[in-house]
Chains A and B, each alone.
Chain A
Amino acid sequence: MIARWPKSLRFGAGIVLLWLIAAVLAPWLTPADPYAIDLDNTLRPPGGDWLMGTDHVGRDVFTRVVFAARIDIWMGVMGVLAPLLIGVTIGLFAGYFGGLFDSVMMRIVDITLAFPFLILVLAIVAMLGPGITNFIIALALVAWVSYARLIRADVMVVKNAEYVQAARTLGFSSPLIIFKHVLPNTISPIIVYAMTDMVLVVLAGASLGFIGLGVQPPTAEWGAMIADGQAYITEAWWVSFFPGLAAVSFGIGLSLIGDGLARMLRIGDT
Protein backbone atom coordinates (compact mmCIF):
# COMPACT_ATOMS: atom_id res chain seq x y z
CA MET A 1 0.00 0.00 0.00
CA ILE A 2 2.80 2.40 0.93
CA ALA A 3 4.38 1.71 -2.47
CA ARG A 4 1.37 3.38 -4.11
CA TRP A 5 1.58 6.54 -2.04
CA PRO A 6 2.80 9.65 -3.84
CA LYS A 7 6.48 10.38 -3.29
CA SER A 8 5.82 13.51 -1.21
CA LEU A 9 3.50 11.61 1.12
CA ARG A 10 6.09 8.89 1.73
CA PHE A 11 8.82 11.44 2.31
CA GLY A 12 6.70 13.60 4.62
CA ALA A 13 5.44 10.63 6.58
CA GLY A 14 9.05 9.52 7.00
CA ILE A 15 10.12 12.86 8.48
CA VAL A 16 7.15 13.07 10.83
CA LEU A 17 7.64 9.44 11.90
CA LEU A 18 11.28 10.17 12.73
CA TRP A 19 10.21 13.08 14.92
CA LEU A 20 7.58 10.94 16.62
CA ILE A 21 10.19 8.28 17.40
CA ALA A 22 12.61 10.95 18.63
CA ALA A 23 9.92 12.41 20.90
CA VAL A 24 8.94 9.05 22.38
CA LEU A 25 12.50 7.80 22.85
CA ALA A 26 13.95 11.19 23.88
CA PRO A 27 15.49 10.07 27.19
CA TRP A 28 17.33 7.20 25.48
CA LEU A 29 18.45 9.10 22.40
CA THR A 30 20.00 12.06 24.16
CA PRO A 31 23.30 12.27 26.02
CA ALA A 32 22.30 14.76 28.73
CA ASP A 33 19.54 15.96 31.03
CA PRO A 34 17.50 18.69 29.29
CA TYR A 35 17.37 20.75 32.48
CA ALA A 36 20.90 20.17 33.82
CA ILE A 37 22.53 23.56 34.26
CA ASP A 38 26.31 23.56 33.83
CA LEU A 39 27.72 27.03 34.38
CA ASP A 40 31.27 25.93 33.51
CA ASN A 41 30.19 25.12 29.97
CA THR A 42 27.93 27.95 28.83
CA LEU A 43 27.59 28.87 25.15
CA ARG A 44 29.97 26.14 23.95
CA PRO A 45 30.00 25.86 20.14
CA PRO A 46 28.78 22.68 18.41
CA GLY A 47 31.28 19.83 18.29
CA GLY A 48 32.97 17.52 20.75
CA ASP A 49 30.74 16.68 23.67
CA TRP A 50 27.97 18.94 22.41
CA LEU A 51 26.53 18.04 19.01
CA MET A 52 24.62 21.34 18.79
CA GLY A 53 26.51 23.30 21.43
CA THR A 54 25.22 24.51 24.79
CA ASP A 55 22.97 27.42 25.73
CA HIS A 56 23.48 30.36 28.10
CA VAL A 57 23.23 28.19 31.21
CA GLY A 58 25.20 25.28 29.78
CA ARG A 59 22.29 23.00 28.84
CA ASP A 60 22.87 20.68 25.88
CA VAL A 61 21.01 22.16 22.90
CA PHE A 62 20.69 18.80 21.09
CA THR A 63 19.04 17.19 24.09
CA ARG A 64 16.65 20.08 24.48
CA VAL A 65 15.76 20.11 20.77
CA VAL A 66 14.79 16.43 20.96
CA PHE A 67 12.83 16.86 24.20
CA ALA A 68 11.10 19.94 22.79
CA ALA A 69 9.63 17.74 20.05
CA ARG A 70 7.37 16.22 22.72
CA ILE A 71 5.84 19.58 23.56
CA ASP A 72 5.62 20.86 19.99
CA ILE A 73 4.09 17.68 18.60
CA TRP A 74 1.59 17.52 21.45
CA MET A 75 0.73 21.16 20.85
CA GLY A 76 0.25 20.49 17.13
CA VAL A 77 -1.92 17.42 17.65
CA MET A 78 -4.13 18.88 20.38
CA GLY A 79 -4.27 22.28 18.70
CA VAL A 80 -5.67 20.64 15.57
CA LEU A 81 -7.78 17.93 17.15
CA ALA A 82 -9.80 20.23 19.42
CA PRO A 83 -10.89 22.67 16.69
CA LEU A 84 -11.34 19.82 14.20
CA LEU A 85 -13.76 17.89 16.39
CA ILE A 86 -15.74 20.99 17.31
CA GLY A 87 -15.74 22.41 13.79
CA VAL A 88 -16.64 19.17 12.03
CA THR A 89 -19.52 18.45 14.41
CA ILE A 90 -20.96 21.94 14.09
CA GLY A 91 -20.40 22.03 10.32
CA LEU A 92 -22.08 18.65 9.81
CA PHE A 93 -25.18 19.51 11.75
CA ALA A 94 -25.41 23.09 10.46
CA GLY A 95 -25.04 21.96 6.85
CA TYR A 96 -27.38 18.99 7.16
CA PHE A 97 -30.23 20.63 9.03
CA GLY A 98 -29.84 24.27 7.97
CA GLY A 99 -32.32 26.58 9.62
CA LEU A 100 -31.72 28.80 12.60
CA PHE A 101 -28.78 26.81 14.00
CA ASP A 102 -27.03 27.10 10.65
CA SER A 103 -27.65 30.85 10.36
CA VAL A 104 -26.43 31.54 13.88
CA MET A 105 -23.33 29.39 13.46
CA MET A 106 -22.46 30.98 10.13
CA ARG A 107 -22.76 34.46 11.62
CA ILE A 108 -20.33 33.40 14.34
CA VAL A 109 -18.01 32.06 11.63
CA ASP A 110 -18.17 35.39 9.76
CA ILE A 111 -17.41 37.34 12.90
CA THR A 112 -14.48 35.12 13.91
CA LEU A 113 -12.97 35.21 10.43
CA ALA A 114 -12.97 39.01 10.58
CA PHE A 115 -10.19 38.81 13.17
CA PRO A 116 -6.64 38.11 12.04
CA PHE A 117 -6.01 34.59 13.36
CA LEU A 118 -2.83 35.23 15.33
CA ILE A 119 -4.13 38.46 16.89
CA LEU A 120 -7.27 36.83 18.28
CA VAL A 121 -5.33 33.84 19.62
CA LEU A 122 -2.79 36.22 21.15
CA ALA A 123 -5.50 38.34 22.76
CA ILE A 124 -7.30 35.33 24.23
CA VAL A 125 -4.10 33.83 25.64
CA ALA A 126 -3.16 37.26 27.02
CA MET A 127 -6.45 37.28 28.95
CA LEU A 128 -6.41 33.63 30.05
CA GLY A 129 -2.75 33.74 31.02
CA PRO A 130 0.32 32.04 29.50
CA GLY A 131 0.63 28.28 28.98
CA ILE A 132 -0.02 25.56 26.45
CA THR A 133 -3.42 24.59 27.82
CA ASN A 134 -4.66 28.14 27.39
CA PHE A 135 -3.17 28.21 23.89
CA ILE A 136 -5.16 25.11 22.99
CA ILE A 137 -8.31 26.61 24.54
CA ALA A 138 -7.78 29.72 22.44
CA LEU A 139 -7.37 27.58 19.31
CA ALA A 140 -10.51 25.61 20.12
CA LEU A 141 -12.39 28.92 20.41
CA VAL A 142 -11.01 30.40 17.20
CA ALA A 143 -9.88 27.75 14.73
CA TRP A 144 -13.01 25.56 14.61
CA VAL A 145 -14.65 28.04 12.25
CA SER A 146 -12.43 27.07 9.31
CA TYR A 147 -13.30 23.40 9.74
CA ALA A 148 -17.00 24.14 10.13
CA ARG A 149 -17.07 26.29 7.01
CA LEU A 150 -15.10 23.79 4.96
CA ILE A 151 -17.20 20.75 5.80
CA ARG A 152 -20.50 22.61 5.70
CA ALA A 153 -20.00 23.50 2.04
CA ASP A 154 -19.50 19.83 1.16
CA VAL A 155 -22.37 18.67 3.36
CA MET A 156 -24.74 20.99 1.48
CA VAL A 157 -23.86 19.12 -1.72
CA VAL A 158 -23.76 15.60 -0.31
CA LYS A 159 -27.04 15.85 1.59
CA ASN A 160 -28.89 15.95 -1.73
CA ALA A 161 -26.99 13.00 -3.17
CA GLU A 162 -29.01 9.92 -4.12
CA TYR A 163 -27.48 7.65 -1.52
CA VAL A 164 -28.42 10.07 1.24
CA GLN A 165 -31.94 10.42 -0.13
CA ALA A 166 -32.16 6.65 -0.30
CA ALA A 167 -31.04 6.32 3.32
CA ARG A 168 -33.61 8.90 4.33
CA THR A 169 -36.36 7.08 2.41
CA LEU A 170 -35.41 3.86 4.16
CA GLY A 171 -36.12 5.65 7.42
CA PHE A 172 -32.63 5.85 8.92
CA SER A 173 -32.25 8.35 11.72
CA SER A 174 -30.55 11.66 11.00
CA PRO A 175 -27.52 11.12 13.26
CA LEU A 176 -26.94 7.74 11.61
CA ILE A 177 -27.11 9.26 8.12
CA ILE A 178 -24.83 12.12 9.15
CA PHE A 179 -22.12 9.95 10.68
CA LYS A 180 -22.37 6.86 8.44
CA HIS A 181 -23.02 8.48 5.05
CA VAL A 182 -22.36 12.20 5.05
CA LEU A 183 -19.20 12.28 7.20
CA PRO A 184 -17.17 9.67 5.28
CA ASN A 185 -17.92 11.48 2.03
CA THR A 186 -16.95 14.94 3.25
CA ILE A 187 -13.99 14.25 5.52
CA SER A 188 -11.16 14.05 2.93
CA PRO A 189 -10.68 17.82 2.42
CA ILE A 190 -10.77 18.20 6.21
CA ILE A 191 -7.89 15.75 6.65
CA VAL A 192 -5.83 17.57 4.03
CA TYR A 193 -6.60 20.93 5.59
CA ALA A 194 -5.74 19.59 9.04
CA MET A 195 -2.17 18.93 7.86
CA THR A 196 -1.70 22.52 6.66
CA ASP A 197 -3.39 23.70 9.81
CA MET A 198 -0.98 21.74 11.99
CA VAL A 199 1.94 23.61 10.41
CA LEU A 200 0.20 26.86 11.33
CA VAL A 201 -0.59 25.69 14.84
CA VAL A 202 2.96 24.58 15.54
CA LEU A 203 4.25 27.90 14.21
CA ALA A 204 1.71 29.86 16.26
CA GLY A 205 2.63 27.83 19.35
CA ALA A 206 6.30 28.50 18.74
CA SER A 207 5.51 32.20 18.26
CA LEU A 208 3.75 32.25 21.61
CA GLY A 209 6.68 30.42 23.19
CA PHE A 210 8.97 32.99 21.61
CA ILE A 211 7.16 35.94 23.19
CA GLY A 212 6.83 34.14 26.51
CA LEU A 213 3.11 33.31 26.38
CA GLY A 214 3.58 29.63 25.61
CA VAL A 215 5.41 27.06 27.69
CA GLN A 216 7.07 28.44 30.76
CA PRO A 217 10.80 28.03 31.42
CA PRO A 218 12.68 25.82 31.86
CA THR A 219 10.51 23.52 29.69
CA ALA A 220 12.11 22.95 26.32
CA GLU A 221 10.01 24.10 23.37
CA TRP A 222 11.37 25.16 19.97
CA GLY A 223 9.93 28.71 20.02
CA ALA A 224 10.98 29.35 23.61
CA MET A 225 14.47 27.99 22.84
CA ILE A 226 14.79 30.38 19.90
CA ALA A 227 13.87 33.17 22.31
CA ASP A 228 16.53 31.95 24.78
CA GLY A 229 19.16 32.44 22.12
CA GLN A 230 17.96 35.85 20.99
CA ALA A 231 20.18 37.77 23.39
CA TYR A 232 23.23 35.74 22.33
CA ILE A 233 22.61 35.73 18.58
CA THR A 234 25.86 37.60 17.91
CA GLU A 235 28.19 35.26 19.79
CA ALA A 236 26.26 31.97 19.88
CA TRP A 237 24.07 31.46 16.80
CA TRP A 238 23.57 27.75 17.53
CA VAL A 239 21.32 28.31 20.54
CA SER A 240 18.56 29.67 18.27
CA PHE A 241 19.52 28.06 14.99
CA PHE A 242 18.95 24.37 15.77
CA PRO A 243 15.51 24.67 17.41
CA GLY A 244 14.38 26.69 14.38
CA LEU A 245 15.77 24.04 12.05
CA ALA A 246 13.86 21.39 13.98
CA ALA A 247 10.63 23.36 13.61
CA VAL A 248 11.25 23.82 9.88
CA SER A 249 11.94 20.12 9.28
CA PHE A 250 8.84 19.08 11.21
CA GLY A 251 6.78 21.65 9.29
CA ILE A 252 8.13 20.43 5.95
CA GLY A 253 7.19 16.86 6.90
CA LEU A 254 3.62 17.94 7.66
CA SER A 255 3.35 20.03 4.48
CA LEU A 256 4.55 17.13 2.35
CA ILE A 257 2.00 14.83 3.94
CA GLY A 258 -0.70 17.41 3.19
CA ASP A 259 0.50 17.77 -0.40
CA GLY A 260 0.70 14.02 -0.92
CA LEU A 261 -2.73 13.39 0.59
CA ALA A 262 -4.26 16.11 -1.58
CA ARG A 263 -2.74 14.45 -4.63
CA MET A 264 -3.83 10.98 -3.62
CA LEU A 265 -7.37 12.05 -2.81
CA ARG A 266 -7.47 14.42 -5.83
CA ILE A 267 -8.31 17.53 -3.86
CA GLY A 268 -7.37 20.99 -5.04
CA ASP A 269 -5.38 22.03 -8.06
CA THR A 270 -2.32 19.81 -7.91
Chain B
Amino acid sequence: MFLKVGKRLGHILPVLLGISIVSFGLIQLTPGDPARMILGNKASVEAVEAVRERMGLNEPVLQQYGNYMLNLVQGDLGESLRYQQPVSELIMQFLPVTGFLALYVIVLTVPLTILLGILAARNRGRWIDQLIRMTSVLGMTMPVFWLAMLMLRIFSVELGWFPVSGFGTGFVGHLHHLFLPAVSVSIYLIPVLVRNLRAALLEEMNADYVVASRSKGLPEGYIFRRHILKNASLPTLNLFGVLITWLIGGTVIVELVYAIPGLGTLMFNAILGRDYSVIQGLTLFYAFSTVIITLVTDMLSALIDPRIEL
Protein backbone atom coordinates (compact mmCIF):
# COMPACT_ATOMS: atom_id res chain seq x y z
CA MET B 1 0.00 0.00 0.00
CA PHE B 2 2.69 2.48 1.03
CA LEU B 3 4.69 1.52 -2.01
CA LYS B 4 1.67 2.21 -4.21
CA VAL B 5 1.11 5.61 -2.63
CA GLY B 6 4.76 6.47 -3.07
CA LYS B 7 4.62 5.49 -6.72
CA ARG B 8 1.54 7.56 -7.25
CA LEU B 9 3.14 10.59 -5.59
CA GLY B 10 6.05 10.14 -7.95
CA HIS B 11 3.63 10.46 -10.86
CA ILE B 12 2.11 13.58 -9.42
CA LEU B 13 5.30 15.58 -9.05
CA PRO B 14 5.84 16.15 -12.80
CA VAL B 15 2.18 17.20 -13.11
CA LEU B 16 2.58 19.72 -10.29
CA LEU B 17 5.73 21.02 -11.93
CA GLY B 18 3.85 21.33 -15.21
CA ILE B 19 1.04 23.22 -13.51
CA SER B 20 3.52 25.71 -12.11
CA ILE B 21 5.06 26.20 -15.57
CA VAL B 22 1.62 26.82 -17.10
CA SER B 23 0.54 29.33 -14.48
CA PHE B 24 3.92 31.07 -14.68
CA GLY B 25 3.70 31.09 -18.47
CA LEU B 26 0.28 32.75 -18.47
CA ILE B 27 1.85 36.17 -18.03
CA GLN B 28 3.88 35.63 -21.20
CA LEU B 29 0.63 35.56 -23.17
CA THR B 30 -0.14 39.23 -22.63
CA PRO B 31 0.18 41.21 -25.86
CA GLY B 32 2.99 43.60 -25.05
CA ASP B 33 4.48 44.61 -21.74
CA PRO B 34 2.43 43.32 -18.77
CA ALA B 35 3.41 46.36 -16.68
CA ARG B 36 2.20 48.69 -19.42
CA MET B 37 -1.03 46.67 -19.67
CA ILE B 38 -1.62 47.07 -15.95
CA LEU B 39 -0.95 50.81 -15.81
CA GLY B 40 -2.50 51.81 -19.13
CA ASN B 41 -1.27 54.09 -21.90
CA LYS B 42 -1.16 57.26 -19.86
CA ALA B 43 1.32 56.03 -17.25
CA SER B 44 4.84 57.46 -17.31
CA VAL B 45 7.80 55.39 -18.39
CA GLU B 46 9.19 55.64 -14.85
CA ALA B 47 6.02 54.21 -13.32
CA VAL B 48 6.03 51.33 -15.79
CA GLU B 49 9.68 50.69 -15.03
CA ALA B 50 8.94 50.65 -11.30
CA VAL B 51 6.18 48.05 -11.74
CA ARG B 52 8.43 45.98 -14.02
CA GLU B 53 11.06 46.03 -11.33
CA ARG B 54 8.56 45.05 -8.67
CA MET B 55 7.19 42.18 -10.74
CA GLY B 56 10.73 41.03 -11.51
CA LEU B 57 10.13 41.36 -15.24
CA ASN B 58 13.58 42.76 -15.94
CA GLU B 59 15.29 39.47 -15.27
CA PRO B 60 15.78 36.66 -17.81
CA VAL B 61 12.73 34.38 -18.13
CA LEU B 62 14.45 31.36 -16.64
CA GLN B 63 15.49 33.33 -13.60
CA GLN B 64 11.96 34.70 -13.30
CA TYR B 65 10.65 31.14 -13.26
CA GLY B 66 13.30 30.18 -10.70
CA ASN B 67 12.17 32.98 -8.42
CA TYR B 68 8.53 32.04 -9.00
CA MET B 69 9.21 28.44 -8.01
CA LEU B 70 11.26 29.46 -5.01
CA ASN B 71 8.39 31.62 -3.78
CA LEU B 72 5.83 28.95 -4.62
CA VAL B 73 7.56 26.34 -2.51
CA GLN B 74 7.32 28.76 0.41
CA GLY B 75 3.62 29.25 -0.23
CA ASP B 76 4.09 32.70 -1.74
CA LEU B 77 1.91 33.25 -4.81
CA GLY B 78 2.98 36.83 -5.38
CA GLU B 79 1.25 40.05 -4.46
CA SER B 80 -1.96 41.56 -5.78
CA LEU B 81 -1.43 45.04 -7.20
CA ARG B 82 -5.08 45.90 -6.74
CA TYR B 83 -5.58 44.75 -3.17
CA GLN B 84 -1.94 45.39 -2.10
CA GLN B 85 -2.07 42.04 -0.35
CA PRO B 86 -0.39 38.66 -0.84
CA VAL B 87 -2.38 36.48 -3.27
CA SER B 88 -2.32 33.50 -0.91
CA GLU B 89 -3.89 35.65 1.80
CA LEU B 90 -6.58 36.80 -0.63
CA ILE B 91 -7.39 33.23 -1.65
CA MET B 92 -7.71 32.19 1.99
CA GLN B 93 -9.99 35.16 2.56
CA PHE B 94 -12.38 34.32 -0.31
CA LEU B 95 -12.09 30.53 -0.10
CA PRO B 96 -14.51 29.84 2.80
CA VAL B 97 -17.48 31.26 0.87
CA THR B 98 -16.77 29.20 -2.23
CA GLY B 99 -16.04 26.18 -0.05
CA PHE B 100 -19.40 26.58 1.66
CA LEU B 101 -21.15 26.86 -1.71
CA ALA B 102 -19.28 23.81 -3.04
CA LEU B 103 -20.22 21.67 -0.04
CA TYR B 104 -23.81 22.86 -0.32
CA VAL B 105 -23.87 21.80 -3.97
CA ILE B 106 -22.40 18.40 -3.12
CA VAL B 107 -25.01 17.83 -0.42
CA LEU B 108 -27.77 18.66 -2.88
CA THR B 109 -26.23 16.82 -5.82
CA VAL B 110 -25.02 13.46 -4.57
CA PRO B 111 -28.27 11.95 -3.19
CA LEU B 112 -30.25 13.08 -6.24
CA THR B 113 -27.60 11.76 -8.62
CA ILE B 114 -27.59 8.35 -6.97
CA LEU B 115 -31.39 8.20 -6.96
CA LEU B 116 -31.77 9.25 -10.60
CA GLY B 117 -28.84 7.15 -11.78
CA ILE B 118 -30.31 4.00 -10.21
CA LEU B 119 -33.79 4.79 -11.51
CA ALA B 120 -32.51 5.32 -15.04
CA ALA B 121 -30.33 2.20 -15.07
CA ARG B 122 -32.98 -0.11 -13.60
CA ASN B 123 -35.62 1.11 -16.03
CA ARG B 124 -33.35 1.29 -19.01
CA GLY B 125 -35.23 2.22 -22.16
CA ARG B 126 -38.55 2.73 -20.36
CA TRP B 127 -40.33 6.06 -20.08
CA ILE B 128 -38.67 7.04 -16.82
CA ASP B 129 -35.22 6.53 -18.33
CA GLN B 130 -36.27 8.58 -21.36
CA LEU B 131 -37.64 11.31 -19.11
CA ILE B 132 -34.41 11.48 -17.10
CA ARG B 133 -32.44 11.53 -20.33
CA MET B 134 -34.50 14.38 -21.77
CA THR B 135 -34.24 16.48 -18.60
CA SER B 136 -30.51 15.76 -18.53
CA VAL B 137 -30.10 17.12 -22.03
CA LEU B 138 -32.02 20.21 -20.98
CA GLY B 139 -29.91 20.68 -17.85
CA MET B 140 -26.68 20.26 -19.77
CA THR B 141 -27.52 22.78 -22.47
CA MET B 142 -28.80 25.56 -20.22
CA PRO B 143 -26.33 28.38 -19.64
CA VAL B 144 -25.89 28.23 -15.88
CA PHE B 145 -25.90 32.05 -15.53
CA TRP B 146 -29.16 32.27 -17.47
CA LEU B 147 -30.83 29.72 -15.24
CA ALA B 148 -29.46 31.54 -12.20
CA MET B 149 -30.94 34.83 -13.43
CA LEU B 150 -34.35 33.31 -14.14
CA MET B 151 -34.50 31.70 -10.71
CA LEU B 152 -33.44 34.98 -9.15
CA ARG B 153 -36.27 36.73 -10.93
CA ILE B 154 -38.92 34.14 -10.00
CA PHE B 155 -37.98 33.13 -6.46
CA SER B 156 -36.26 36.23 -5.15
CA VAL B 157 -37.95 39.14 -6.90
CA GLU B 158 -41.42 37.78 -7.64
CA LEU B 159 -42.03 35.48 -4.70
CA GLY B 160 -39.54 36.98 -2.27
CA TRP B 161 -38.58 33.59 -0.86
CA PHE B 162 -34.83 34.11 -1.07
CA PRO B 163 -32.46 37.06 -0.84
CA VAL B 164 -31.33 38.55 -4.14
CA SER B 165 -27.60 38.43 -3.46
CA GLY B 166 -24.83 38.13 -0.92
CA PHE B 167 -23.66 35.56 1.57
CA GLY B 168 -25.75 36.37 4.67
CA THR B 169 -24.72 35.97 8.29
CA GLY B 170 -24.68 32.88 10.45
CA PHE B 171 -25.02 29.28 9.28
CA VAL B 172 -28.75 29.48 8.59
CA GLY B 173 -28.26 32.83 6.83
CA HIS B 174 -25.63 31.28 4.57
CA LEU B 175 -27.90 28.35 3.80
CA HIS B 176 -30.72 30.73 2.94
CA HIS B 177 -28.61 33.09 0.83
CA LEU B 178 -26.80 30.35 -1.06
CA PHE B 179 -29.83 28.15 -1.75
CA LEU B 180 -30.57 29.44 -5.25
CA PRO B 181 -26.91 29.58 -6.31
CA ALA B 182 -26.42 26.01 -5.06
CA VAL B 183 -29.53 24.82 -6.90
CA SER B 184 -28.35 26.54 -10.11
CA VAL B 185 -25.00 24.76 -9.99
CA SER B 186 -26.69 21.46 -9.09
CA ILE B 187 -29.03 21.60 -12.07
CA TYR B 188 -25.97 22.04 -14.24
CA LEU B 189 -24.03 19.25 -12.53
CA ILE B 190 -26.59 16.50 -11.99
CA PRO B 191 -27.08 15.60 -15.69
CA VAL B 192 -23.36 14.96 -16.18
CA LEU B 193 -23.14 12.88 -13.04
CA VAL B 194 -26.31 10.89 -13.72
CA ARG B 195 -25.03 9.99 -17.17
CA ASN B 196 -21.78 8.74 -15.69
CA LEU B 197 -23.45 6.74 -12.95
CA ARG B 198 -26.03 5.24 -15.30
CA ALA B 199 -23.28 4.04 -17.65
CA ALA B 200 -21.33 2.55 -14.74
CA LEU B 201 -24.38 0.76 -13.37
CA LEU B 202 -25.33 -0.62 -16.77
CA GLU B 203 -21.85 -1.99 -17.16
CA GLU B 204 -22.11 -3.77 -13.80
CA MET B 205 -25.56 -5.11 -14.71
CA ASN B 206 -24.09 -7.02 -17.63
CA ALA B 207 -21.25 -8.52 -15.59
CA ASP B 208 -20.82 -12.28 -15.34
CA TYR B 209 -21.66 -12.46 -11.64
CA VAL B 210 -25.04 -10.86 -12.35
CA VAL B 211 -25.80 -13.41 -15.05
CA ALA B 212 -24.74 -16.15 -12.65
CA SER B 213 -27.01 -14.82 -9.87
CA ARG B 214 -29.85 -14.54 -12.31
CA SER B 215 -29.42 -18.12 -13.52
CA LYS B 216 -29.47 -19.24 -9.89
CA GLY B 217 -32.96 -17.76 -9.82
CA LEU B 218 -32.30 -14.85 -7.45
CA PRO B 219 -34.87 -12.05 -7.71
CA GLU B 220 -33.78 -8.97 -9.71
CA GLY B 221 -34.24 -6.54 -6.80
CA TYR B 222 -32.08 -8.70 -4.55
CA ILE B 223 -29.32 -8.94 -7.16
CA PHE B 224 -29.40 -5.19 -7.61
CA ARG B 225 -29.20 -4.35 -3.92
CA ARG B 226 -26.74 -7.03 -2.84
CA HIS B 227 -24.40 -7.19 -5.81
CA ILE B 228 -24.70 -4.38 -8.30
CA LEU B 229 -24.91 -1.48 -5.86
CA LYS B 230 -21.95 -2.75 -3.88
CA ASN B 231 -19.84 -2.99 -6.98
CA ALA B 232 -21.04 0.36 -8.24
CA SER B 233 -19.71 2.18 -5.19
CA LEU B 234 -16.36 2.58 -6.92
CA PRO B 235 -17.66 4.31 -10.03
CA THR B 236 -19.71 6.53 -7.70
CA LEU B 237 -16.56 7.51 -5.88
CA ASN B 238 -14.89 8.24 -9.18
CA LEU B 239 -17.73 10.60 -9.95
CA PHE B 240 -16.16 12.98 -7.47
CA GLY B 241 -13.26 13.53 -9.80
CA VAL B 242 -15.69 14.56 -12.53
CA LEU B 243 -17.79 16.53 -10.10
CA ILE B 244 -14.98 18.73 -8.82
CA THR B 245 -13.90 20.16 -12.17
CA TRP B 246 -17.48 20.85 -13.24
CA LEU B 247 -18.25 22.26 -9.82
CA ILE B 248 -15.42 24.77 -10.00
CA GLY B 249 -16.42 25.94 -13.48
CA GLY B 250 -20.03 26.27 -12.37
CA THR B 251 -19.43 28.22 -9.19
CA VAL B 252 -17.25 30.84 -10.87
CA ILE B 253 -20.08 32.12 -13.06
CA VAL B 254 -22.91 31.64 -10.58
CA GLU B 255 -21.06 33.66 -7.94
CA LEU B 256 -21.12 36.58 -10.32
CA VAL B 257 -24.88 36.45 -10.89
CA TYR B 258 -25.68 36.30 -7.17
CA ALA B 259 -22.85 38.62 -6.11
CA ILE B 260 -21.36 36.06 -3.75
CA PRO B 261 -17.98 37.15 -2.37
CA GLY B 262 -16.10 33.96 -3.27
CA LEU B 263 -13.17 32.90 -5.44
CA GLY B 264 -15.20 33.36 -8.64
CA THR B 265 -15.79 36.99 -7.80
CA LEU B 266 -12.11 37.38 -6.92
CA MET B 267 -11.17 35.89 -10.31
CA PHE B 268 -13.60 38.16 -12.12
CA ASN B 269 -12.33 41.30 -10.39
CA ALA B 270 -8.76 40.26 -11.11
CA ILE B 271 -9.60 39.86 -14.81
CA LEU B 272 -11.27 43.26 -14.93
CA GLY B 273 -8.42 44.96 -13.07
CA ARG B 274 -5.65 43.13 -14.96
CA ASP B 275 -4.45 41.83 -11.63
CA TYR B 276 -2.25 39.22 -13.28
CA SER B 277 -0.68 37.72 -10.18
CA VAL B 278 -4.15 36.99 -8.77
CA ILE B 279 -5.23 35.31 -12.02
CA GLN B 280 -2.07 33.22 -12.03
CA GLY B 281 -2.38 32.36 -8.36
CA LEU B 282 -6.03 31.34 -8.63
CA THR B 283 -5.43 29.22 -11.73
CA LEU B 284 -2.62 27.45 -9.93
CA PHE B 285 -4.75 27.03 -6.83
CA TYR B 286 -7.66 25.54 -8.77
CA ALA B 287 -5.42 23.07 -10.60
CA PHE B 288 -3.61 22.13 -7.41
CA SER B 289 -6.89 21.47 -5.60
CA THR B 290 -8.14 19.35 -8.49
CA VAL B 291 -4.98 17.23 -8.43
CA ILE B 292 -5.17 16.71 -4.67
CA ILE B 293 -8.87 15.78 -4.74
CA THR B 294 -8.29 13.33 -7.59
CA LEU B 295 -5.39 11.83 -5.64
CA VAL B 296 -7.55 11.37 -2.56
CA THR B 297 -10.39 9.72 -4.52
CA ASP B 298 -7.90 7.41 -6.24
CA MET B 299 -6.44 6.40 -2.89
CA LEU B 300 -9.88 5.75 -1.44
CA SER B 301 -10.69 3.62 -4.48
CA ALA B 302 -7.54 1.61 -3.90
CA LEU B 303 -8.49 1.17 -0.25
CA ILE B 304 -11.91 -0.18 -1.22
CA ASP B 305 -10.64 -2.34 -4.05
CA PRO B 306 -7.06 -3.60 -3.66
CA ARG B 307 -6.99 -4.69 -7.31
CA ILE B 308 -6.80 -1.07 -8.45
CA GLU B 309 -3.40 0.03 -9.60
CA LEU B 310 -2.62 3.50 -8.37
> Which residues of A pack against B, CB within 8 Å?
107-108, 110-112, 114-120, 122-124, 126-129, 199, 203, 206-207, 210-213, 222-223, 226, 229-230, 233-234, 237, 240-241, 243-244, 247-248, 250-252, 254-256, 259, 268-269
Bound together, the chains give a CA A247 to CA B141 distance in angstroms of 8
Interface residues of B in 115-162 (CB under 8 A from A): 137-138, 140-147, 149-150, 152-153, 157
B308 at the A interface (CB under 8 A): no
Residues of A within 8 A of B203 (CB): 269
Q: Are A210 and B252 in contact (CB under 8 A)?
A: no
Contact between chains at A111 and B19 (CB < 8 Å): yes
B residues engaging A (CB < 8 A)? 14-15, 18-19, 21-23, 26-27, 29-31, 137-138, 140-147, 149-150, 152-153, 157, 198-199, 202-203, 244-245, 248-249, 252-253, 256-257, 267-268, 270-272, 276, 279-280, 282-283, 286-287, 290-291
Do A116 and B137 contact each other (CB < 8 Å), given the known contacts A207-B145, A247-B146? no
Q: CB within 8 A of A213: which of B30, B248, B271?
A: B271
Closest residue of chain A to B286 (Cβ to Cβ) is A119
Known interface pairs A111-B15, A252-B137, A256-B137; A122-B143 also in contact (CB < 8 Å): no
Residue from A124, A223, A243 within 8 A of B26 (CB atoms) = A124
Q: Is the CB of B286 within 8 A of A244?
A: no
Closest to A230 in B: B149
Name which residue of chain B comes closest to A252, CB basis.
Answer: B141
Nearest B-chain residue to A196, judged by Cβ: B140
In the complex, what distance in Å separates the CA atom of A269 from the CA atom of B198? 9
Q: How far is the CA of A254 from the CA of B256 in the complex (A)?
A: 27
Is A269's CB under 8 angstroms from B199's CB? yes
Q: Are B143 and A244 in contact (CB-based, < 8 A)?
A: yes
6 new A-B contacts, CB < 8 A, other than A112-B22, A115-B290, A123-B283, are: A116-B244, A119-B287, A120-B287, A124-B26, A199-B140, A259-B137
B residues less than 8 Å from A241 (CB atoms)? 150
- B146, B157, B199, B290 interface centre (most CB from chain A within 10 Å): B146
Task: Select B253's contact among A128, A207, A247, beta carbons within 8 Å.
Answer: A207
Please determine whether B145 and A255 come into contact, CB atoms closer than 8 angstroms.
no
Give the residue of A123, A199, A212, A230 whose beta carbon is less than 8 angstroms from that of B279: A123
Contact B153 A115 (CB under 8 A): no
Question: In the bound complex, how far is the Cα of B270 from the Cα of A213, in angstroms?
Answer: 13
Inter-subunit contact A127/B256 (CB<8 Å)? no
**B147, B202, B252, B291: the one within 8 Å of A269 (CB):** B202
